[in-house]
Amino acid sequence: MKIEKRVKELVEEKIADKPNLFLVDVKFHSNGKLMVLVDGDNGIGIDDCVAISRHVGFHLEEENVIETAYNLEVSSPGIDTPLTSIRQYTKNVGRNLAIKMVDGTKREGKLTGLAEDAIVIEEKIKEKGKKAETVESVIPIDKITETKVLISFK
């Protein structure tokens, strides 16, 4: 979609001088809501979100990219937003993940690192009649359909 492509260019332009920030996603919904998700290696502050919003909004108006009324929202991805980039995985090393695999299975474990085109997790494997064992597993990213961070409220 032309709108999403242009918004991505505008966001990349605005954050070019801030190497710790990165674009996660841009979605233009049929209800006129334009969602821009931006994150940072150390999170992202409200000031950066506002600056990105102003930059994108100004250029969209100037270039008349969207002909109907729209609502622009720039934020960091919520905790329930699936991880989509290597930088997001890197940022979440040490956290527990829920992973849906291409074959339909689900896995859970602590993200301990990244390998080439793969993630490394520690997961508990329990075989019938045996004690649960913690094993390190390397999971190729192309075998994953969705990854979410599990939040612990302990």
Q: For 72-123, what is each residue's pLDDT tens digit?
A: 999 999 888 999 888 999 999 999 999 999 999 999 999 999 998 999 999 9
pLDDT at 1: 63
pTM as predicted: 0.81
**CA separation for the pair 37, 26 (Å, rounded):** 6
CATH of domain 2-75: 3.30.300.70
Query: What distances in angstroms separate CA 110 from CA 56, 80, 122, 147, one per listed residue?
Result: 37, 17, 5, 12
2-75 matches 86-149 in fold: no
Distance from C-alpha of 90 to C-alpha of 6, rounded to nearest angstrom: 27
Confidence of residue 58 (pLDDT cuts 50, 70, 90): very high
Q: Nearest 5°: phi and psi at 89?
A: -65, -45
Domain ranges of the chain: 2-75, 86-149
Please give the class, per CATH, of domain 86-149: mainly beta
| The residue type at 147 | T
